[in-house]
Structure 1
């Protein structure tokens, strides 16, 4: 199950992945990367993990990779996808909450 704590940890890990050092580093006004760039980076990382897993599967089928390498790559791809889905769910939830606010 995905919790708010796991989403916060994933966000922190994504910040480190794009060169940020904390929540303030993501602000466009502070000169850092904007939210869109952070999301693009996380999605690109998830895509890269999926491609790596696919390559490991093909290599294993050809007898060039160990099963543990395949399992590790698939697990990393699954974790990346779960992180992207958790962030997506939180963004949609925040948007719906904003839309319910009276003007």
Structure 2
């Protein structure tokens, strides 16, 4: 996950505030759907990079440490996406249980 994108999204959710030094304020905060699309795209890219590293290792052109690093990064991103998904589902279920 891109830390800068996460920081900007958090800042937008919290109501803005002053941007940190060297970071320009975004003109329009991304919507929740756009944020999810970006994260899913990054996760897909990390998975493809890990698969590419594995293929290079099989052909004898890559190092094992690169494969392990790429797979570990892809796994961490996927676990983060799954955790966020679980929290969104839990929040939705909680909202549906609220009395009207």
CA RMSD between the two structures: 2.1
Residue number in structure 2 paired with 1:101: 98
Residue number in structure 1 paired with 2:83: 86
- Which has the greater radius of gyration? 2
Distance 2:63 2:3 in 1: 32
> Displacement of 1:15 after TM fit?
6.1
> Displacement of 1:16 after TM fit?
1.9
Distance 2:12 2:76 in 1: 24
Provide structure 2 residue ranges, at least 5 long, that are not aligned to the other structure.
Answer: 15-26
> Displacement of 1:100 after TM fit?
0.3
> Where has structure 1 moved over 6 Å in runs of 4 or more?
none
Residue number in structure 1 paired with 2:21: none
Pair 1:66-2:55 in alignment: no
Residue number in structure 2 paired with 1:17: 5
Higher helix share: 1
Tell me how many residue pairs correspond in the alignment.
88
Q: What TM-score, normalized by structure 2, do the two folds share?
A: 0.78
Contact 2:57 2:63 in 1 (8 A): yes
- In structure 2, the CA distance between the partners of 1:22 and 1:35, relative to structure 1 (3 Å rule), is closer
Distance 2:5 2:61 in 1: 30
Residue by residue, what CA displacement relative to the aligned partner does 1:13-57 show, whole Å, maximum 9, x if unpaired? Answer: 656236x53524258xx8210000111111111100100000000
